[in-house]
Chains A and B, each alone.
Chain A
């Protein structure tokens, strides 16, 4: 209990003094995960909508696979990306291992199935409502997808935020491909793992509270910008 109080005090102190190292790793956490969410959304949202409006053989199997991939183990993804980007791996020539770019690649692989799957659930319900209308308007498939994405944007925002939630708190994959290098690839979660290993639980917990506050702040900011749950809207 005492350690938790110390952690809170440590978190408050770090934030109030705007500790330079803390600001750096917090910004890098945001940079990596927001970039990964942006890329994963650009792939996952249209993919989810496409799966909702298309009918093809093995569609059920494709959707079941996508849902299962939501649970991809981060450590395994990290290991696979490590082996791909390693100097002795197929993409070694780019020298991307142990850079923030490698961490973004790993997180895109983790987040895309999650975002696509949640997007698909939302689009499927919307498609049931829009099906007759869009068919009778003779809309092309691209037009249908665009209409679904635009009218379902709030549900899709939830999909993106779920992706952000998984990415910002993830440590297994980025520890392996980033290497937790000070001033280069250290982010909040890997710093927490490091401080825990050093036995400095108060600092680890302090960083943890900062991470939670950061996730809350991003969610509130996006909800504010998108004006969801505002006024009389249901």
Chain B
């Protein structure tokens, strides 16, 4: 019996350690936002200004939207406009607020076997890859980046049937894992600029094509509708939105540099 009591006491002590305090909210964000490092700059400022601890769940856009729909997070910050608009249309959020954009870049082996470096547009670059049958790794996980990639294929007039598995590989993984696959296979891949700059295992890969406005990547903030999910911390989600729309957030976002490059451009409200 003494043993049992000891075990019980141990359980109590360990469970007590899980209790937490302070006003906090949960926000589902995309891997690309987390990988940029911007969160580490902004969240301490939010804590200072609003006395609010924002806990990040770093997932793909598809999962982030699901978490918002289930009411498991208080807000989502994602980058896939059709999915966001469906989210609002279904009443999961009352509105969608544009915050900022960054851009996608086409990465590939430094030797550039498909010759996309001089392409006139993103669609032309995608056509070159398909024409050459050069290996291309797709996220394949319904994330915002994956959807952006599919939009570029569509713009290039290359449909799903034409993307032969002999060169088109769907990794079904996050940005980092997909870049690891591309690095291992010396394949082309579409990535957001922030993830690429922060990626440590570049190997033979290089940035080959960027700058087409079709590759701009708009982030939007969606507070979860408290009418549908009464338990969400709507006050905190609202306070964070007001903070994101402030001059202070603009200065932080526009001023953020990674390896000397500006990553994000603030365009809140300008719809």
Interface residues of A (CB under 8 A from B): 31, 34-35, 38-39, 41-42, 86-89, 92-93, 95, 97-101, 104, 179-182, 184, 194, 196-201
Whether B176 contacts A197 by the Cβ 8 Å rule is yes
In the complex, A197→B175 CA distance in Å? 7
Residue from the set A41, A95, A197 with the largest chain B CB neighbour count within 10 Å: A197
Whether A199 contacts B199 by the Cβ 8 Å rule is yes
Decide: A34 near B7, CB < 8 A? Known: A87-B71, A88-B71, A95-B231. Answer: no
Contacts of B56 in A (CB 8 A): 181-182
B72 within 8 A of A: yes
Whether B177 contacts A196 by the Cβ 8 Å rule is yes
State the Cβ distance, A3 to closest chain B Cβ, in Å.
9
Residue from the set B7, B18, B199, B202 with the largest chain A CB neighbour count within 10 Å: B18
Number of interface residues of B (CB under 8 A): 36
B229 within 8 A of A: yes
In the complex, A35→B71 CA distance in Å? 28
Chosen A-B contacts, 8 in total, with CB atoms closer than 8 Å, are: A31-B14, A39-B11, A101-B18, A182-B56, A197-B173, A199-B202, A200-B200, A201-B201
In the complex, A210→B11 CA distance in Å? 24
Contacts of B4 in A (CB 8 A): 42
Residue in A41, A88, A95, A198 whose CB lies within 8 Å of B199? A198
Contacts of B72 in A (CB 8 A): 86-88, 97-98
Main secondary structure of the interface of B (DSSP, over half): mixed
In the complex, A97→B256 CA distance in Å? 33
Q: Which residue on chain B has the smallest CB distance to residue A42? A: B7
Residue in B11, B18, B176, B231 whose CB lies within 8 Å of A198? B176
In the complex, A182→B26 CA distance in Å? 12
In the complex, A179→B31 CA distance in Å? 13
Contacts of A42 in B (CB 8 A): 4, 7, 11
Q: Which residues 26-80 of B have a CB within 8 angstroms of A?
A: 26, 31, 35, 55-59, 69-72
Whether A197 contacts B177 by the Cβ 8 Å rule is yes
B118 within 8 A of A: no
In the complex, A101→B176 CA distance in Å? 28
In the complex, A160→B176 CA distance in Å? 36
Q: Which residue on chain A has the smallest CB distance to residue B18? A: A100
B186 within 8 A of A: no
